[in-house]
Amino acid sequence: MSDTPSLGLPLLEASQAQKHVTHNEALMLLDAMLHLAVISRQLATPPAAPSDGDRYLIADAASGEWQGHSHEIAYRQAGSWRFAEPRAGWRLWVIAESAFLLFDGTTWQDLAVPDILQNMALLGVGTSADPANRLAVSSPNILFNHAGSDARVKINKSATSDTAALLFQTGYSGHAEFGLSGDDNFQVKVSPDGATWKQAINVDKATGLVTLASNSVTNASLADMPAATFKGRRSTGPGDPEDLTAAQLTSLLNIWGRNLSSTLIMP
């Protein structure tokens, strides 16, 4: 007797006697597999008091009446257990867990668990990803939240000469970038057109020394000064610049003058 290729439903033979038996068998199998929902996927042995129509996804190491049918569908019919071997693409609902499963040809995959997203070629959220942007997100905001303590965003490059940076664009044309661009010093760069780039800040990886672009600091960018003051330092020891009055500046100049005069006096 031949069966259908997808569900394996038994077909009637031309000269078959008692064709209603085969017909009913096909209907019962169709009734069991259509809109497939199982009670549980946790059992490896049959439940103690099953009812006709009960369906289960058999767990590993099946035993008892289910022995040899792990990962198959067990369905109760006329007081006996019948089995259906899944094929790639079959889907079912696990009632006890409210879980949706997909059979990939080897195992049942849980579509509600993020692990199924491992090693995906492309992932688009609110937009379409492509080979150049394998992860693409279109959203007004993106949140990376801590899981109890620290939260870090890591961008790892392969070699020193590569780039690991954040690029800011307008209409997909780059205008600002910061990160490790072509070396391991921290850089901030800007561009008027996405093609020509100017380095604004460079932080040396070894010393932490900050270098600014030439002429990037103007008088207007400096801190405000009181009228009739000068920038210098009168306090003892190194430290931040101070605003000096004309009298303080004159005193410092006199000290420098005396020191200079004593240095120039020939013995």
What pLDDT, in 10s, does the model give residues 127-169? 999 999 999 999 999 999 999 999 999 999 999 999 999 999 9
- Average pLDDT in the 237-254 region? 86
At residue 12 the predicted structure's pLDDT band, cuts being 50, 70 and 90, is: low
pLDDT value for 36: 83
pLDDT value for 106: 92
At residue 263 the predicted structure's pLDDT band, cuts being 50, 70 and 90, is: low
Bridge partners (DSSP) listed for residue 123: 135
- Average pLDDT in the 208-235 region? 86
Give the count of beta carbons closer than 10 Å to the beta carbon of residue 108. 18
pLDDT value for 21: 54
What's the order of all strands across the beta sheet hosting 55-57? Answer: 55-57, 73-77, 80-84
Q: What is the pLDDT of residues 45-90, one digit of tens each?
A: 999 999 988 999 999 999 999 999 999 999 888 899 989 889 888 8
Q: What is the pLDDT of residues 186-207, one digit of tens each?
A: 999 999 999 999 999 999 999 9
Token pair of 41 as six digits: 């996927």
pLDDT value for 111: 82
Ranges assigned E (strand) in the chain: 37-38, 55-57, 73-77, 80-84, 91-94, 99-103, 108-110, 123-125, 135-137, 163-170, 173-181, 186-190, 198-203, 210-212, 229-232, 242-245
66, 45 Cβ separation under 8 angstroms: yes
The vertex-225 CA angle with 224 and 229, nearest 5°, equals 165
Tell whether the model's pLDDT for residue 23 goes beyond 70: no
At residue 2 the predicted structure's pLDDT band, cuts being 50, 70 and 90, is: confident
pLDDT value for 120: 82
Cβ-proximal residues to 176 (8 Å cutoff; 6+ apart), any chain: 167, 168, 188, 189, 190, 191
